[in-house]
Amino acid sequence: MVAVAPTWGFFLIFVFMTIESSFIPFPSEVVMIPAGFVAARGGLGTGIPAVDVGISVLMGLLGSLAGAWINYGLALKLGQPFLLRWGKYFFLPPEALLRAEELFRQYGAGATFFCRLLPAIRQLISIPAGLARMGPGPFTLWTGLGAGIWVLFLTLLGWSAGQGTAELSYADLVHQGKDTIRANLPWIIPTALGGLAAYVLLSKRIMRRTGA
């Protein structure tokens, strides 16, 4: 991936974020954090860190909107009965679809904004927007704002980690990372397990239906 980053990096960010924002399960963290890291090292298209990170955020946002529009368009054309019957074969279980609809009914257009910042429901919230025939303009605006904040946050995480590493080779970074992990292992493991448990509990709480 690093070898093709200068030529295909921005395009790959767009493609992977389109996939992530559609109905296919794919974590945005493994796209935008590395993008920010490589950008900080000047390893993307322009070779200028500040420009690379700006274009990375833009491509991530456009990819998120493209994926969201896929879900929105499918819901608009296919309708709820089709999605409830066949969605489970395309990573769209009925329980998740019904929970997304519940949140959309509860919060209206604002759900397309704040749900883009939450795990488990991020991709799905575009579907009830399509089912409710939400206007294309408001849908794009609110989805773009939520997705933009998320993409910017992840990219800046990677950017922060990549700062000051431009002079190091990736082999040096691997060795340095191993030494850092080995030295801090006693607290890295419980922190990672705690973070995973919190993520799972939060996801379950978000996806727990409250209505009939």
User: Tell me: the pLDDT tens digits for 160-197?
Assistant: 988 888 777 777 777 777 877 777 778 888 888 888 88
pLDDT score for 211: 63
- Sign of the CA dihedral with 71 first, then 75, 80, and 81 last: negative
Query: Burial of 3 by CB count in 10 Å (0-12 exposed, 13-18 middle, 19+ buried)?
Result: exposed
Alpha helices (H) in 41-135, listed in sequence order: 49-78, 80-86, 94-107, 111-114, 126-131
Q: What is the tens place of the pLDDT at every residue in 12-71? A: 999 999 999 998 878 899 999 999 999 998 888 888 889 999 999 999 999 999 999 999
Distance of CA 74 to the CA centre of its chain: 20
Query: Burial of 181 by CB count in 10 Å (0-12 exposed, 13-18 middle, 19+ buried)?
Result: exposed
Q: Domain residue spans in the chain? A: 5-167
Higher pLDDT: 141 or 201? It is 141
pTM: 0.85
